[in-house]
Amino acid sequence: MSRFFSEKLERLVPYTPGEQPKDMNYIKLNTNESPFPPSPVAVELANRETLNYQLYSDPECTPLVEYASEYFNVQRDEILFTNGSDEILNFAFMAFCDKDHPAYFADITYGFYRVFAEINCVPYEMIPLRKDFTVNVEDYVNKKGVIFIANPNAPTGIALPLSDIERIIVSNPQSVVVVDEAYVDFGADSSVSLVNKYDNLLVTQTFSKSRSMAGARLGFGISNKEIIRDLNTVKYSTNPYNVNRVTMAAGLGALKDDDYMRSNCESIVKTRERVKGVLSDMGFEMTPSVTNFLFVKHKKIGGELIYRELKDKGILVRHFNTDPLKDYNRITVGTDKEMDALIDAIGSILEEENENN
pLDDT at 21: 83
pLDDT at 19: 87
CA dist 154 to 32, 73, 173, 199, 309, Å? 10, 27, 26, 26, 24
Half-sphere exposure of 347 (CA within 13 A, CB side): 9
Mean pLDDT of the chain: 96
DSSP 84-101: HHHHHHHHHHHHH-BTTB
Q: Does the pLDDT at position 193 exceed 80?
A: yes
Alpha carbon distance 54, 190 (integer Å): 38
Average pLDDT over residues 211-231: 98
Q: What is the pTM of this model?
A: 0.96
Q: Which of 19-23, 124-128, 249-253, 332-336 has the lowest mean pLDDT?
A: 19-23
Q: Does the pLDDT at position 20 exceed 90?
A: no
pLDDT at 23: 80
pLDDT at 96: 98
Share of the chain above pLDDT 70, in %: 100
pLDDT at 270: 98
Q: Are 186 and 268 in contact (CB under 8 A)?
A: yes
